[in-house]
Amino acid sequence: MLTIQRLSGALGAEIDGVDLSQELSDAVIAEIRQALLDHLVIFFRGQNITPAQHMAFARRFSEPEEYPMLKGLEGFPEIVAVIKLPHETINFGGLWHTDTAYLQVPPLGAILVARELPPYGGDTLFANMYLAYEALSDGMKAMLSGLRGVNSSAKADTTKTREDRIATAGKQQANVEHLAIHPVVRTHPETGRKLLYVNSGHTIRFEGMTEEESAPLLNYLFAHQVRPEFTCRFAWRPGSVAFWDNRCAQHNPVNDYHGFKRVMHRISLRGTKPY
């Protein structure tokens, strides 16, 4: 029997009473999926799962897909190792972002498993994009409703966080720029709720505007959408698993463990085109 404990007022919940290494019933999967929709990011503790079990669990929610820039594990190309080594100072994806918003069809979500952790630090922050949208004024909502954001894989602050991993596990076309245009105000395909769908990692401008023209409003939105009251913080432990809804939540891995190694395994799940 699942127990669900909220982690903060904004989003996030820990789920107990389930062993992800086992084949789960359709009813349990439905409960977990509903918890994801209700809380945007869900966490499991004390899980000892193999890559094959990680894949089997992920497939119950959507089709796993390969990350466009990095090679996956041998035998499991859809599982990407998210690593920071002791001599490295920049962590992979170390800024607020929505995963791969520069793809025409960004992922539904991701399932991240802790494999090796530093003795302290390395928490991950999450933010609720429903709340970010709902807190805007009616005038701002009206202005944003017709805008579309141009998202790029080549935004400088983001590419810097990939350099170490591309050097060790990059695909042949790792440095090819991906571009996608998505609505600034997105409707979640399952809940029907509106949310703010720009992010500082990938959104470079509004469609039909220059970067310079777009910057003042985008910078306001980037700061607004990660206000503390929209966020939660997760402290990893061995055996921890996080599953976030990439359509309505952003995340930011905190880079505060220099000199130590951190290894996580991530699976991205196929989504649908934003509208």
- CA distance linking residue 180 with residue 233, whole number of Å: 29
Options 99, 162, 245, 247, the catalytic residue: 99
Interacting residues of 49 by C-beta distance below 8 A, sequence separation 6+: 20, 21, 57, 113, 241
Cβ neighbours of residue 174 closer than 8 Å, sequence gap 6 or more: 69, 70, 162, 166
Q: Is 38 a catalytic residue?
A: no
Q: Is 224 a catalytic residue?
A: no
Instruction: Report the run of H or E that residue 266 belongs to, with start and end.
Output: strand 262-269
- Catalytic status, residue 97: yes
- Would residue 251 show up in a list of annotated catalytic residues for this protein? yes
Q: Of 182, 247, 251, 262, which residue is the catalytic one? A: 251
- Active-site position among 39, 54, 97, 182: 97
Burial per residue of 10-35, b for 16 or more beta-carbon CB atoms within 10 angstroms, e otherwise: bbbbbbeebebeeebeeebeebbbeb
Question: Any idea which residues carry the catalytic annotation?
Answer: 97, 99, 251, 266
